Structure 1
Amino acid sequence: MSRILIVEDEDIIRSAVRKLLQHAGYEVADAVSVEEAETHDLDSFDLVITDLRLPGAAGTEMINRAPNTPVLIMTSYASLRSAVDSMKMGAVDYIAKPFDHDEMLAAVESILARKTAVSQAPAETGNVAGSPKTDSDPAEIMFGQAEAMQKVFTLIRKVAPTGTTVLIQGESGTGKELAARALHLLSPRASKPLISVNCAAIPESLIESELFGHEKGAFTGAVSARTGLIEAADGGSLFLDEIGELPAEAQARLLRVLQENEIRRVGSTQSQTVDVRMIAATHRNLKAMTRTGDFREDLYYRLNVMQIRIPPLRERRADILGLASRFLKRQAGKLGRAELSLSPEAMQALERYRWPGNVRELENAIERASILADGDVITPTVLDLDSEADDDYIPETLVEGNHEQTQTRDADSTNDLSLEDYFQHFVLENQDRMSETELAQKLGISRKSLWERRQRLGIPRKKS
């Protein structure tokens, strides 16, 4: 059993991560500061997970005080550059807050697998640190017993050992980042970092600086030189999620990275060579976007060397109950219950539902139902799924290449608005006079959630 030390001064986060890892089968200890962490035998841990900002010494100090143990840095987006700097100091990876459970578990599994691969390498004939793990499998990271997912796993096993650029396509919530982690973990680069970037989450004015870095004085506020995320991924893999949101200028720069393996920091006259395996993902139809001029055609063909399509949940219905069972076990552990189960009627409701939000929506539904359930049996009432679950599902507009808003309701049903209807009406009515921040505040959701719902419902953000 792997031992993990959590160093986090916020009680809620520390407790949540501890319970998550304990439920996943890890032995966990925790501390609120670097000083308290030193009261433990640091060499006895297989992994240290630490917040970047702590009372007293910074979390990066754990890299020096536990030199024989890999360190995973937790950081907010505002401190993303500091996280990249910490990786230069020796951290094996970083994870940005807020993170979901699957993201944390996938990061932990990836790091521990790399550690095992490196430690076993000398005993294996002809094997060296960083070579592909023959006993790793995408099924250890992703769940899928349906034939469609088994084809995905087979493709990942074939592509991962190569250095080929990969484009992962799939609707929001299907698990594109987990596929990227599987590709990295099964590759010769597994001992090097996997840097994940959501291109839609970074302001357009900062995207080039974040990806390529900048020199001191390159622009107002650039008080010192910064390493870009591509440079930080040197020797490893770079995962660019939602690459369809990348601005035109950054697309041109990225094309040069793919063509020449070179980057040039913003404000610099010198180029430098990088060795990065590129993995991109999108839920949009990039080929259709090349026809409208929203995405560079030459960049599309550079990215689309090998394509992996993650099927939506409606195309892998055989996996619904299996996924639900895994999520129920996780929730039972979080809530301190012995066991949670689904009633036969709830199982039927899950299998009939169309799941427009895919696996992420299923996980959220199970979490909500687990909290609301009075007993240990989940019923359709607490699942509270859309009553139109038996209707034929209309595919996501952007995934299918249609940039027009899809009408998912008959015209005569507008008097009975669902939450999705309300969201569409509110955004379309107010987006011309409200900023994205104001829209999110009025809807009671985060900017990221607002963006994700826009993409899922086919309501493009109007650019000023």
Structure 2
Amino acid sequence: MSKILIVEDEDIIRTALRKLLERNGFDVREAASVTEATSKHNFSDYNLIISDLRLPGAPGTDLIELAGQIPVLIMTSYASLRSAVDSMRLGAVDYIAKPFDHEEMISAVKRVLSKARTVARQAPEQPPKAKAPGMIGDSPAMQKLYSRIHKVAPTSASVLIHGETGTGKELAAKALHQESPRSSNPMISVNCAAIPETLIESELFGHEKGAFTGAASQREGLIAAADGGTLFLDEIGELPLEAQARLLRVLQEGEVRPIGSIESRKVDVRLVAATHRDLHKLCKEGKFREDLYYRINVLQLTLTPLRDRGKDILALTTNLLQRYCEEMGKPSLQLSPEAIQAITTYTWPGNVRELENAIQRAVILCEDEREISHDLLDIELDLINLREAGIEPNNARQQLDSLSSESTDPAEDLSLEDYFQRFVLENQDTMSETELARKLGVSRKCLWERRQRLGIPRKKSSAKNA
């Protein structure tokens, strides 16, 4: 059972949050300030700390350094979301805006705990000497990758790079080449899936004049062009079996023979291959040569999906925003708080390539001179949060109602949605919309949107005072 510490000075929110987490199987403890948290609790006993951003005495962000490796989830009002984003750059694992409902909180907690377990399994082999050229990220998974690149780059060993589509396999290959003694010689990149099967052998190995119909002149192959340097074969799992046999000879004998030629040429090529497919499984199915698989798989580099790289996504987003703003001659743009929350919550099935496309699209469509809204990213954040929390979107309202109905003591077990609703109903006759929003720590727009969602009509007296 995961153990969670809540640091919140508002009794009603702290109690409601504790009840919610306990109903979902977590062991929960409480503190009302940073001082109380540090004096009464040993942070190493906990799997997660949930803290309000604004606390009496010291801000919740002070817990980030004090907690060490324990993840800290920051709670903040709408007006303070930009500060929450800054706190993530300081080391907070995530943040969530108040007021929030059951699904939002449970989804965030499960996501943070899941990422923490993943990070724990991916501890780096040793501290990296430096980042790999052209690659961005400081997560443990990336540090492990950098370490391996630094170790294998100076050698001539073949490398197999494995990872999902869009994780940056070609960037890893370029880093290997740039750190190798071959960096002054060319790196030739070939996408095996992009060349028709009838042309792939000619492209790789070259051909003599008249070797086949259409061979009007002699042509040097890409392998010969990479002599002294690095040959990067992307999607090597798509290489036809006949071409695989020829490639195996190049690796074994260090020579290449063009199609139609009776003479071979010596070549010194370092092979780096990449794939998102399971080559071992393809070998068993007879679609990939087993002898070639063992020849290219001297050392394997695995690129971690973007969803498991933690705060790397913020660094990547900042870099991409700056690049596309410069390319398109636009002023420096920032993501809105909702857009940043969407980016840090989305699972990114297309990985870095999908993130790059989303940022490029948003910069192109953005008409604001300062901020990019989450709508321009085209990310369905709410549906993602619900599914990650194990709740089907169509049943979300029913499950929320069933959770709320479990409360036996309204004053003690008030949900955060209930707290919002009760506060508005009790005070809207005496407060303006601006005052209500300020007390709740949200914008007037956010207050209006929650009124609509919860079905709380505005009173006439409230409207007059707005």
After TM superposition, the score normalised by the length of structure 2 is 0.54
Provide the residue aligned with 2:429 in structure 1. Answer: none
Contact 1:354 1:390 in 2 (8 A): no
Choose between structure 1 and 2: higher helix proportion. Answer: 2
Within the candidate set 114, 123, 147, 1:154 is matched to 147
In 2: Cα distance, 1:274 partner to 1:235 partner: 7
Within the candidate set 325, 329, 332, 1:336 is matched to 329
**What is the percentage of aligned positions where both structures have the same residue?**
61
Contact 1:137 1:186 in 2 (8 A): no
The structure with the largest alpha-carbon Rg is: 2
Q: Name the SS for the 2:165 alignment partner.
A: coil
In 2: Cα distance, 1:258 partner to 1:203 partner: 23
In 1: Cα distance, 2:286 partner to 2:387 partner: 32
Q: Name the SS for the 1:356 alignment partner.
A: coil
In 2: Cα distance, 1:249 partner to 1:241 partner: 17
Within the candidate set 266, 291, 298, 1:298 is matched to 291
Q: Which amino acid aligns with 2:191?
A: N
Within the candidate set 247, 254, 276, 2:247 is matched to 254
Query: How big is each residue's C-alpha offset from its partner over 1:59-117, in whole Å with a ceiling of 9 and x where there is no partner?
Result: xxxxxxxxxxxxxxxxxxxxxxxxxxxxxxxxxxxxxxxxxxxxxxxxxxxxxxxxxxx
Q: Name the SS for the 2:188 alignment partner.
A: strand
Query: Would you say 1:390 and 2:380 are equivalent positions?
Result: no
Query: Would you say 1:241 and 2:234 are equivalent positions?
Result: yes
Provide the residue aligned with 1:270 in structure 2. Answer: 263
Contact 2:132 2:149 in 1 (8 A): no
Provide the residue aligned with 1:54 in structure 2. Answer: none
Q: Which amino acid aligns with 2:329?
A: G
Q: Name the SS for the 1:371 alignment partner.
A: helix
Query: How big is each residue's C-alpha offset from its partner over 1:399-456, in whole Å with a ceiling of 9 and x where there is no partner?
Result: xxxxxxxxxxx9x99xxxxxxxxxxxxxxxxxxxxxxxxxxxxxxxxxxxxxxxxxxx
After TM superposition, the score normalised by the length of structure 1 is 0.54
Shift of 1:137: 5.2
Q: Name the SS for the 2:171 alignment partner.
A: helix
In 1: Cα distance, 2:180 partner to 2:226 partner: 14
Contact 1:262 1:273 in 2 (8 A): yes
Q: Which amino acid aligns with 1:305?
A: V
Query: Would you say 1:327 and 2:330 are equivalent positions?
Result: no
Q: Structure with the greater relative contact order (CA < 8 A, sep ≥ 6): 1 or 2?
A: 2
Within the candidate set 353, 363, 383, 1:370 is matched to 363
Show structure 2 runs of 5+ residues with no match. 1-128, 396-466
In 2: Cα distance, 1:391 partner to 1:190 partner: 48
Query: How big is each residue's C-alpha offset from its partner over 1:102-139, in whole Å with a ceiling of 9 and x where there is no partner?
Result: xxxxxxxxxxxxxxxxxxxxxxxxxxxxxxxxxx9553
Q: Name the SS for the 2:145 alignment partner.
A: helix
Q: Which amino acid aligns with 2:186?
A: P
Q: Name the SS for the 1:307 alignment partner.
A: strand
In 2: Cα distance, 1:304 partner to 1:390 partner: 38
Provide the residue aligned with 1:167 in structure 2. Answer: 160
Query: Would you say 1:182 and 2:192 are equivalent positions?
Result: no
In 1: Cα distance, 2:283 partner to 2:203 partner: 25
Contact 1:198 1:241 in 2 (8 A): yes
Q: Which amino acid aligns with 1:389?
A: I
In 1: Cα distance, 2:386 partner to 2:297 partner: 34
Shift of 1:392: 6.0
Q: Name the SS for the 1:267 alignment partner.
A: coil
- State the Cα RMSD in Å: 2.0
Provide the residue aligned with 1:281 in structure 2. Answer: 274
Shift of 1:391: 5.9
Q: Are residues 392 and 158 of structure 1, via their aligned partners in 2, closer, same or farther at CA, if it must alter by over 3 Å?
A: farther
Provide the residue aligned with 1:226 in structure 2. Answer: 219
Query: Would you say 1:347 and 2:329 are equivalent positions?
Result: no
